[in-house]
Structure 1
């Protein structure tokens, strides 16, 4: 199964995403943690901004924190066994939807099309792994609303995103 996900339609830049590389992306969030959040989008954005600020400060000052090998091992284990989601907002923003692009259509391999408002899409998350492996049976991605309201029944088999 391909893990390629195009963003097209009423956008300035049609882009293609590869869900198989998101496991290396710092913006990924464990699914369990995502489903626990009440205001997940704001918290995740703040955590991401804080982490980037700390990283920038380390780079600027040249201070290298000591690396603990057990932490590395734990991170590797977590990646190999975890289930993850990633925010859709950065990808959708990079495609730069046009002014007349008011809705987002999620296209699935089973022929279903889910139409969302731009706000719902910008606040949404894409699940790309289960137990450390890509979603093969009902993937390549699942869509979750930002508030986790469809946590038990996400939109599955998402193959493309079209701004309409």
Structure 2
């Protein structure tokens, strides 16, 4: 199984995707977060809520004195557990697709293909980690439609994407 996926076709730049490094990418989200219907997409509002929670905690519990253990390491370890995905659109746009693209074709190892409309692909999500670990079985990514209609049965085993 290859751990990388190519994006090729009607593009100016053929790119290679390496899902193994996306766990460090700021664009990643937990899979559940992609399908929540709320207004917390506003970064300023999210920041203000986090600061407010910290302020409330310090008022109730007092300031926490550092123990010498790295809280950052704890947060990092906590953050990577769970199922993770990343929006597909930035990668498609970075390939600089041609003006008349209509679809993205997913290629599988057995030679089969699945076609996704360009609009659906731009809204799509690449699911790259389960329980904080890279997807090995039928991986390295699963494709989810942006509305989550295939969440229980994502498109698996993708080896390449061709923009047509």
TM-score relative to the length of structure 2: 0.77
Q: Contact conserved, 1:38 with 1:147, CA < 8 A, in 2?
A: no
Q: Distance in 2 between matches of 1:74 and 1:146?
A: 28
Q: Which has the larger radius of gyration?
A: 2
Instruction: Please state how far the C-alpha of 1:11 moved relative to its aligned partner.
Output: 0.6
Query: How many residues end up aligned between the 2 structures?
Result: 142
Q: Distance in 2 between matches of 1:90 and 1:103?
A: 16
How does 1:98-137 map onto structure 2 within 5 Å?
A: 98-137=98-137
In structure 1, runs of 5+ residues without a counterpart are 52-67
Structure 1, 106-115 or 84-93: larger mean CA deviation? 106-115
Shift in alpha-carbon separation, 1:86–1:43, aligned structure 2, 3 A = farther
Corresponding residue SS for 1:156 = coil
* Aligned residues: CA RMSD: 2.3
TM-score relative to the length of structure 1: 0.77
Shift in alpha-carbon separation, 1:71–1:2, aligned structure 2, 3 A = same
Instruction: Please state how far the C-alpha of 1:71 moved relative to its aligned partner.
Output: 5.2
CA displacement 1:56-114 (0-9 Å, x = unmatched): xxxxxxxxxxxx843541232221x2210000000000001101221111112243311
Corresponding residue SS for 2:22 = helix
Q: Contact conserved, 1:87 with 1:126, CA < 8 A, in 2?
A: yes
* 1:70 lines up with 2:71 in the alignment: yes
Shift in alpha-carbon separation, 1:18–1:33, aligned structure 2, 3 A = same
Which residue of structure 1 lines up, in the alignment, with residue 93 of structure 2? 93
Structure 1, 92-101 or 109-118: larger mean CA deviation? 109-118
Q: Distance in 1 between matches of 2:5 and 2:128?
A: 11
Which residue of structure 2 lines up, in the alignment, with residue 58 of structure 1? none
In structure 2, runs of 5+ residues without a counterpart are 48-65
Corresponding residue SS for 2:156 = strand
Instruction: Please state how far the C-alpha of 1:47 moved relative to its aligned partner.
Output: 4.2
* 1:163 lines up with 2:163 in the alignment: yes
Q: Distance in 1 between matches of 2:152 and 2:28?
A: 19
**Runs of 4+ in structure 1 over 4 Å off:** none
